Chain A
C-alpha cells in the first residue's frame, strides 16, 4: 500500500537571475511500513523535499499525496491539522517547546485536538525510547540524545502515516546518534511505522532498508538494501 506518492515535484526559489531550483521533478513513492533514507550533500534539496512532504512548504509544481491526501489542496489550517495527525516531524535541532515538559511536548499534537493520549501506548513509546524517567524535565534539562528521543516520541504519539526525520542525528555524538537510529528502526519494526529519514551521513543512511540519493534536486539513485 502506497503511503506516499510524489509526482514531478518541483521547487524553485527566487526569480530571474536569482532563480534557484531546489527540486527538479521528483517522482517518488513509499509503501506503508518502509524505512527509507534520503541521502544527499548539503544543498542537494533534501530538506526542501522533507518540508514539502511535511506540508510545511508547497511545491512550485507537481503533486504530493500522503495517505490519500493531496497536499496541494490544503489551506494553512488544513495543512496544520494534517501535520498534527498524519505526519510526525523530527528535526536536527529537536524543535521541542522549551517551556513545556517532555511529557507535555510529547502529547502536544493530541492536546491540540483536546484528546488525551492512550496511556498504554504513551508508556510503550516512553519505554521503547528510554525516556520514561525524563518525562517531567524541561527540554534544557535533557541531553541532546534525550531531547531527540522526546522529539521522536512526539512524532509518534498520533500514530502518523509517515514519520519524517530531518538529520535527526546531525547534532548528536556517535553514541547518541546510534541510539536514535536504533530507536527509529525499533519503531519501524515494532510499531510498523513508515519512516523517511533525511541525512547526509552515509553510515546512518545504510541503516535504512531503502536509500534514495539526491543530487542538485534530482534523484540519482533509489536502492533497496533488504
Chain B
C-alpha cells in the first residue's frame, strides 16, 4: 500500500512538473516570440490569404504589419498538425511567389513539440534531456511498484499453500490476490495522484515566489494539469499494479500446496556461479557475499535499479550542467565581458531617430555607449572577388542554397548591415587603423572554414580579396577610398516581393576590409557562414535606406561601464538610463552582472530540481535496502548459523556483511560510470570542448557526495541489521533449520 501510494505520488508529481515545465516554456515562447509556427514576410491580398488557408494542415493565418514602422506585411501561419510545418510552408511560399529563404520558422516553439529541422542548428537539448530523465524516473517508479508487489505476494506464500491444501483452485488464488491488490491500491493510488498534483501546484507557487523576485520580466508560472496527464499517470499506475500483481499471482497459483507450506524462503541459486572478482579480492567471505546478493537479486532489484537510475541521472545532470555552464561562460559571459555591461533594446525605434546617445554617454559611470540597428540586404559576389583561400576551397559552389543563390552575375549572399551611430563608427575606424570617415562602410572580411565543424575553435580565412589595413602595410591610416583601390560594395534590397535579384542595387564605398569587429554584443555568420557583414554609420544609412530598407524594428544601446564597476553601481547606471529613455521609448534592459547571476541562479534552481528527483529516487532505493535488511534478520540468522556451525567467526561474518553492503551501494555506481563517461565524451565531442577544460571543473564533489550518501545509507541499513543478527543464539537457530 505504501509503495503504491509513494509511487503514485511521485509519478504524479513528476509527470505534473514535467507537464508544467513544458507548458511554462510554451507560454513563455508564445508571449515573447508569438505562437505562430512559420512566418512569411511579403505583401498579401485576400486571395493570398485564401491560398494559405486552403492548405489542409493550416489552422489559421494572421497577417500583420512589421518592419520599418509597419510598412511591410508578414503572414503568421498556425498549423493544426505541427509536423507539416517544414513540408507545407515552402509549398505555401512557392504558391505565393515568395522565395523560400525568406520563411522564418518558430524553431524554439516547434522544438517544444519535439519537431526539429536541419535548418535549426541550435542544440535545444534541455527538453529531450528532461524527457529522458523523466522517463527514466517514471520507469524506475514503475519497477518499484512491481517489486513491492512481488515481495508482498511472496510473503504470502505459506498462507496460499494452506488455501491450496484445503481446495482453493489456482484460478481462485489468482482472483483472490488480484482482488486484494485492487482493494489495497485503489485508495493509495488515488490519494497519491491527488497529493502529487497538489505538490506540483505548491512547487509552482514556490517557483513564482523564489524566481519572481530575482528574475526581472520573468514570465509567471501558472499551474495547469491536463486531464490527459492525469489519465496517463493513473493508467500507468493501474497497469503497472495490475501486471505486478498478476505475474507473482500466476506464479504462486502454480506451485503445489506442499511447496508453498514448506517454503522456507531459503535463498537459492538456480545455477552455479563461477567465483568472481569478489572471491578473488576477499576470499570465501567475498564469494558468500556475492552469492547472497545474487540470491537476493529480486528482493534488492528496486534498490539496485533506483541507485543505478538515481546515480546515472544525477551524474549525467551534473555533467551536463557543468558543461553547459562552462560553455555559456566561455561563449557568452567571458567573450562579451569587455563589450557590454548594459544592453537596452529600444522598441520600434530606428537608430537614426534615437536622440539620447550623447545624454547616455554623459551619465556618471558610463565609459562608452554605442547605438546601433541591424538591417538585412543582399550582395552579389563575383567569383574573382573571392579570396584565394576561398577559391581554393571551391568558392561558393558548395554553399547551401538556403543562404547563397547562384545567378547569372555571380553569387547572391546575405549582407547583414550593422548601422552604428556616427561617433561610434568613427571610433571603430580608428580602432581598425583607418582614417575616420562617414561616407563608406567597413566590410567584415572573414569567413569560417566550413570544412572544420569545431565551433569552439573555428578556423577563419579572408572572404574577399580586399586586404585589411595591416595586410596592405598601411601605416598612414588611409582608407581604401583614399588609397584609390577599387572599393565599392553593391547592396541590394533583401526584403520585398522580388524574384529576380539581378537588378541594380546601391553602391556603397568600402572604407576598409577588416577582420576586427566593433565592440558590440553581436555574433556574426553563426548560422549562415556565407553572410558578408557591413558596418556603416547612421549618416550613410540615412542616404540609402530608402533604396534598401530591411531594418529590424528595434534599435540597441550597448553601454560599457567604467572599469571595476560593482553590481550596485551597474544597477544605478541601468536605472539612470531607464529614467532617461522611458519618457520617449519602450525599452527592455539587460545587465551583464545581473544576467550572469540570474543565469547562475536559474541553473542552480534547475540543478536543485533535478537533484531533488535524483535524491527521491535514491531514497526509494535506500527504503528498499532498509526494508530488506530489517526484514531478513530471521532469514540471515539461519544463514549465518550455518556459517557459524562450520567455524565462521563473527568477524568473518561482519566482513561478509560489509562486502555485501559495499557491493550493493557501489555496483550501480561502477555500472553507471562507463555510461556517464561515454555520455560526457559524446557531449564533449558535440560541444568541441577539451576534456581538460571539463575535468578542471567536473562535478567530482557533488557526485562523490551523492555516492557517499548512498554508501552511508546502505551502511546504516546493514549496520542496524547486523546489530540484530549478531545476537544470534546458535543452538536455537540450528534447531529451527529443517
Residues of A within 8 A of B (CB): 47-48, 51, 54, 56-57, 76-77, 80-85, 89, 91, 93, 95-101, 104, 108-109, 111-112, 114, 136-138, 140, 154
Docked-complex contact B284 and A108, CB < 8 angstroms: yes
Docked-complex contact A84 and B283, CB < 8 angstroms: no
Partner of A76, one of B283, B645, B649, B738: B649
Partner of B268, one of A47, A51, A109, A140: A140
Q: A51-B734, A56-B645, A77-B649 are in contact. Are A114 and B269 (CB under 8 A)?
A: no
Partner of B734, one of A56, A77, A138: A56
Docked-complex contact B269 and A91, CB < 8 angstroms: no
Give residues of chain B (270-293) contacting chain A, Cβ–Cβ below 8 Å. 271-273, 283-284, 287-288, 291-292
Question: B731 an interface residue at 8 Å Cβ cutoff?
Answer: yes
Q: A47-B735, A114-B283, A136-B272 are in contact. Are A97 and B647 (CB under 8 A)?
A: no
**Interface centre among A56, A57, A81, A137, by most B CB within 10 Å?**
A56
Partner of B648, one of A93, A96, A104, A112: A112
Docked-complex contact B650 and A98, CB < 8 angstroms: no
Bound Cα distance A130, B652 (Å): 32
Docked-complex contact B730 and A57, CB < 8 angstroms: yes
Bound Cα distance A85, B649 (Å): 12
Question: B294 an interface residue at 8 Å Cβ cutoff?
Answer: yes
Which residue on chain B has the smallest CB distance to residue A141?
B272
Docked-complex contact B650 and A76, CB < 8 angstroms: yes
Partner of B642, one of A95, A136, A137: A95
Partner of A109, one of B266, B292, B646, B738: B646
Partner of A98, one of B266, B283, B284, B647: B266
Docked-complex contact A101 and B272, CB < 8 angstroms: yes
**Interface centre among B288, B645, B646, by most A CB within 10 Å?**
B646
Bound Cα distance A213, B324 (Å): 83
Bound Cα distance A76, B271 (Å): 34
Shortest CB-to-CB span from A153 to chain B, Å, is 12
Docked-complex contact B649 and A89, CB < 8 angstroms: no
**Interface centre among B267, B292, B647, by most A CB within 10 Å?**
B647
Q: A97-B288, A97-B643, A138-B272 are in contact. Are A80 and B294 (CB under 8 A)?
A: no
Residues of B within 8 A of A57 (CB): 730-731
Contact with A along B620-651 (1 / 0, CB 8 A): 00000000000000000000001111111111
Bound Cα distance A140, B267 (Å): 11
17 A-B contacts, Cβ less than 8 Å apart? A51-B734, A54-B645, A57-B731, A80-B644, A80-B649, A80-B650, A81-B649, A91-B645, A97-B642, A98-B267, A99-B294, A99-B295, A112-B646, A114-B283, A138-B271, A140-B268, A154-B646
**Interface centre among B272, B292, B295, by most A CB within 10 Å?**
B272
Partner of A100, one of B266, B271, B287, B731: B287
Residues of B within 8 A of A84 (CB): 646-648
Give residues of chain B (695-738) contacting chain A, Cβ–Cβ below 8 Å. 730-731, 734-735, 737-738
Which residue on chain B has the smallest CB distance to residue A105?
B646
Besides A80-B648, A80-B650, A138-B268, 19 more A-B contacts (Cβ < 8 Å) are: A47-B735, A51-B730, A51-B731, A54-B645, A81-B647, A83-B644, A83-B645, A85-B647, A89-B645, A95-B737, A99-B288, A99-B295, A108-B284, A108-B646, A109-B647, A112-B647, A112-B649, A138-B269, A138-B271
Contact with A along B493-508 (1 / 0, CB 8 A): 0000000000000000
Shortest CB-to-CB span from B454 to chain A, Å, is 54
Docked-complex contact B645 and A93, CB < 8 angstroms: no
Docked-complex contact B730 and A56, CB < 8 angstroms: yes
**Interface centre among B269, B271, B283, by most A CB within 10 Å?**
B269
Residues of A within 8 A of B647 (CB): 80-85, 109, 112
Bound Cα distance A136, B273 (Å): 10
Residues of B within 8 A of A51 (CB): 730-731, 734
Shortest CB-to-CB span from A53 to chain B, Å, is 12
Residues of A within 8 A of B734 (CB): 51, 56, 91, 95
Bound Cα distance A119, B731 (Å): 33
Which residue on chain B has the smallest CB distance to residue A108?
B646
Shortest CB-to-CB span from A223 to chain B, Å, is 28
Docked-complex contact A99 and B651, CB < 8 angstroms: no
Bound Cα distance A210, B647 (Å): 28
Give residues of chain B (189-207) contacting chain A, Cβ–Cβ below 8 Å. none
Which residue on chain A has the smallest CB distance to residue B644?
A80
Bound Cα distance A109, B646 (Å): 6
Shortest CB-to-CB span from A88 to chain B, Å, is 9
Bound Cα distance A101, B274 (Å): 10
Partner of A83, one of B287, B292, B646: B646
**Interface centre among A104, A114, A140, by most B CB within 10 Å?**
A104
Residues of B within 8 A of A138 (CB): 268-269, 271-272
Docked-complex contact A93 and B737, CB < 8 angstroms: yes
The 7 closest A-B pairs by CB, nearest first: A84-B647, A99-B291, A57-B731, A111-B284, A80-B649, A83-B647, A77-B649
Residues of A within 8 A of B269 (CB): 98-99, 138
Residues of B within 8 A of A136 (CB): 272
Q: A98-B266, A99-B273, A101-B272 are in contact. Are A91 and B737 (CB under 8 A)?
A: yes
**Interface centre among A93, A101, A108, A154, by most B CB within 10 Å?**
A108
Bound Cα distance A152, B737 (Å): 18
Bound Cα distance A84, B650 (Å): 13
Shortest CB-to-CB span from A60 to chain B, Å, is 13
Residues of A within 8 A of B731 (CB): 48, 51, 56-57
Bound Cα distance A141, B294 (Å): 18
Give residues of chain B (159-201) contacting chain A, Cβ–Cβ below 8 Å. none
Bound Cα distance A82, B646 (Å): 9
Bound Cα distance A98, B642 (Å): 10
Bound Cα distance A84, B649 (Å): 9
Bound Cα distance A93, B738 (Å): 6
Shortest CB-to-CB span from A149 to chain B, Å, is 16
Bound Cα distance A180, B284 (Å): 28
Give residues of chain B (541-559) contacting chain A, Cβ–Cβ below 8 Å. none
Bound Cα distance A20, B148 (Å): 43
Bound Cα distance A48, B735 (Å): 10
Bound Cα distance A114, B272 (Å): 22
Bound Cα distance A80, B283 (Å): 18
**Interface centre among A54, A84, A114, A140, by most B CB within 10 Å?**
A84
Residues of A within 8 A of B650 (CB): 76-77, 80
**Interface centre among A77, A91, A97, by most B CB within 10 Å?**
A97
Docked-complex contact A112 and B651, CB < 8 angstroms: no
Residues of A within 8 A of B643 (CB): 97
Shortest CB-to-CB span from A101 to chain B, Å, is 6
Contact with A along B239-280 (1 / 0, CB 8 A): 000000000000000000000000000111101110000000
